[in-house]
Each structure stands twice: as structure tokens, then as C-alpha cells.
Structure 1
Amino acid sequence: MQTAETTPATARHKVARIATEALAPWVWLVAMPYAIAWLGTHHAGKTLLWGTVLTVTGSVIPMGVILYGAKRGKYDSHHVNNREGRLVPILVALISQIVGLVLLIVTGTPVVMWKLTAGIVAVGFFSLAITVGLRWKISLHAAASAGSVVLLVIGYGWWPALLVPLVALVCWSRVELRNHTLQQVLAGVLLGVVAAGAGYWVADALIG
């Protein structure tokens, strides 16, 4: 039977679990493409088309690989909490996101869509470099959420900064569930902010 002392901890754990699922990287990478497509086209049909293309390449394909691997026991869960198992999912995600970016370029979509997608690709690239190259388990939840907010601010102005509490919430959840340390989630936030911004501005400098 739960005691008064254990009940708050249990409640925090449940909230953390919900936050971790609702604000997982794949969720941000489903929502972001439609925001990017709308910013570039301001057309409902084209937003649906290109948002779906980027969602499939940036989120659905990588998540399919993760779910398949988790079902076969390669990963501890669909969050791939074991760092050693993250190489293939992050690599697949990065390659798939690059394919999405290439599709935007070769089909002549508005340039702003390329720049924002380049920011997503940059977050994936540096996440891979740190996770595999440095063998350090940086928080992908933190990186994806912080990077998404930065790109939304770049595209839409300062009002998407209202989403910052959601970044804090998902960071807290990862620490609360003991999937990451405080240092790992803070590093993830820094990575998301810097890489997303740098990816956009580098693309802006190259494309004009």
C-alpha cells in the first residue's frame, strides 16, 4: 500500500512518463514539418503535401526503424535509452532527413523551407557525432525540443518562445525517470539551440 511519502513521488513519475511520451523527438518532428511548410507556402494543400513528405522522411521512417528494432529486442524501448543502440536510429534519421531536404531543393520549394530543414539536419548530425563519436548519451528529447523551438522562433518571430516551458518539462521528465542526468539534458538543450540556429544560418549564407 502506498504511503503519504511515496504518493508524490509516484505522481511525479506518472507526469514525467506522460511528458516523455507526449514531447518525444518524433512528436516534434511530426509537427515541425507542417509549420515549415505553412511558412513557405501559406497554402493548405501544399502545406499538407510537403508537411507529410517531411514528416515521413524526418519522423515516420526513423520511428519505424526504432519500433522494429525494439520489437526484436535490439533496443530497451522506443526511446532507445541504451546509448549503444542509438547509432542505427540516429543515422537512419539523419539520412532520411537529408533525403527530405534534397527533395525540397530539387522540386523548387520555397527557400525558407530548405533553411529550416537544414536546421533539423544539423541537430541530427551533431547528435550523431556526440552520441557515437564522443560516446556520450546526450538527451535527444532535449535537443529535438529546443531545436524545434529555435527554428519556430526564427521562422515565426518571438511568440513560439512561449513553448519554452515544454522544453523545460521534457528535460525534467528525462531526469525524473533517470533516463538522463541533468548535465545530459542541459547539453541537449544547448545542442538543439546552437545546431538548429547554425544549420539555418549556414544555409542562409550559402543560399542567400
Structure 2
Amino acid sequence: MRFDLHRFADIISWVVSPVIVAPAAYIALVLMGFSEDPDTLSYLTVLFMASTVVPMLLIFGLKKIGKVSDYNISFREQRFLPLLVLTGVNLLGYELLKQVDAPRLLTGILLFNAVNSVFILLVTLQWKISIHLFTLASSIAMLTLQFGLLSLWLLLLIPVLMWSRIYLRAHNFMQTLIGSIIGFVVMFAELKWWIGL
């Protein structure tokens, strides 16, 4: 049986997508980093709603009414509204986590998800940055900050995802590279500063 390279790239792109990578990182952060906290379930619920449930419902709804052409929102011009809504969702999640007195790292994640969504939104007006790579790299930055250098082995996923997105013609090399570099550096610096306040 002939190996289907396109299908393989597509599977990678879906498995290592923002709606899977972000909640996986949050589960690891909360369950391994704050397992003794009695409000663990509350933290996970807010993080999961902001990173997976609302984005999936939003994209599904926009696809159904024809505002986006596909679930990956491949066209740059169609990304403005989803990014704007997700900025608000993350800010709401940030406020909810503050109300339950969540650890500063977790509130910072949603706060800077909102900030970074605005950044990506502004970039999107002129250029198409890879949100897949941005999310993966920023998730690795969070884990590195919490668990140390051992988490850096996850960076091996970046070239694999870069290949997938380029092979599928969703992005070019620079769009994936810049998404990766900015995603890691910006999130690491933001959270490091936030925790140190």
C-alpha cells in the first residue's frame, strides 16, 4: 500500500493544532504543577473553555454561516473576527481565574494569550503568521518556565509541524519560522516578567 504523504501531513497538522496543543499544555501545568490546589478543576475548566471549547464552537459557527472557508481559517483575511473574539474570551478567562485566586502563572497565560492574539491580529492585517507554530512554541515556553529545561525536548515537534504546514501549503517557511520564534520568546518573556512582579 502506497504511503499517503499528504494525509500524514494533514494528520500532524490536526493533532498538533492549537485546540489540542494548548489544553494539553494546560493539563500538564495544572495537574503536575498545582495538583495540591483544591481549585484545580476550576482552573482547568476555565483554561479548557478558553483554549478549546469556545474556539471550536466559534470556528464551527463561522464555517456554517460562510464567514470562514475551512476550519483552519487558511485565508488571512478571514482571521480578524475569530482573533478579536478570542481576545475577549481570554480576557474573560483571565478575570474568572483572578476571581478564584488562581496561581499567577495561570492568570498570566490567559492575559498574555489575549495580548498575543491582538499582536497576531495586527500582523494578520499585512501578513500571515502561523498560529499553529505560535501556539506550539508558546505552549513549550510555558512548560519550560514551570518544569525547567527538560521540557525543551518538545522543541523537536516544531520542525515536524513546520514541514506539515509547508507541505500542505498553508504557510511558507518564514511564516512558520517567525511564528515559532516569536511564540516561544514572547510568551517566555511575558510570563517570566509576570511571575516576577
Asked if the contact 1:171/1:185 (under 8 Å) is kept, the reply is yes
User: Are positions 1:91 and 2:84 aligned together?
Assistant: yes
Alignment partner of 1:185 is 2:176: yes
Mean Cα displacement is larger for which, 43-52 or 149-158?
43-52
Query: Does the 8 Å CA contact 1:40/1:110 hold for their aligned counterparts?
Result: no
Corresponding residue to 2:127 among 132, 136, 154:
136
Indicate which of 129, 139, 151 corresponds to 1:148: 139
Listed one character per residue, the Cα deviations across residues 134-166 of structure 1 (whole Å, up to 9, x for unaligned) are x21100001000110011101111122121122
Whichever residue aligns with residue 201 of structure 1, its letter is K
**1:195 and 2:170 matched:** no
Whole-angstrom distance in 2 between the partners of 1:86 and 1:15: 25
Aligned residues: 197
Which of 29, 35, 45 aligns to 2:22? It is: 29
Q: Distance in 1 between matches of 2:177 and 2:17?
A: 16
Instruction: State the TM-score, normalized to the length of structure 2.
Output: 0.90
- Aligned to 1:136, what secondary structure does the other structure show? coil
The one-letter code matched in structure 2 to 1:105 is K
Moved more, 162-171 or 147-156: 162-171
SS at match of 2:128: coil
Cα deviation code 1:35-64 (max 9, x no counterpart) = 332355323863333112111023211221
| In structure 1, C-alpha distance between the alignment counterparts of 2:120 and 2:6, rounded to whole Å | 27
Q: Structure 1 vs Structure 2: percent identity of aligned residues? A: 28
Gaps of 5+ in 2: none
**61-70 or 80-89, larger mean C-alpha shift:** 61-70
Give the 3-state SS of the residue equivalent to 1:160 in structure 2. helix
Contact 1:94 1:124 in 2 (8 A): yes
Q: Tell me which residue corresponds to 2:100.
A: 107
Q: Does 1:161 align with 2:149?
A: no
Give unmatched runs, 5+ long, in structure 1: none
For 1:102 and 1:162, the matched residues in 2 are separated by 33
**Could you say which structure has the larger radius of gyration?**
1
Of the three residues 64, 68, 72, the one matched with 2:61 is 68
Q: Distance in 2 between matches of 1:194 and 1:122?
A: 14
- Deviation per CA, 1:74-124: give whole Å up to 9, x if none: 212110001010011111112111111121122212223223444433432
Supply the RMSD in Å over aligned alpha carbons.
2.1
Question: For the residues of structure 2 that align with 1:185 and 1:154, how far apart are their CA atoms?
Answer: 23
Distance in 1 separating the partners of 2:97 and 2:33:
11
Q: Does 1:49 find its partner at 2:25?
A: no
AA matched with 2:92: V
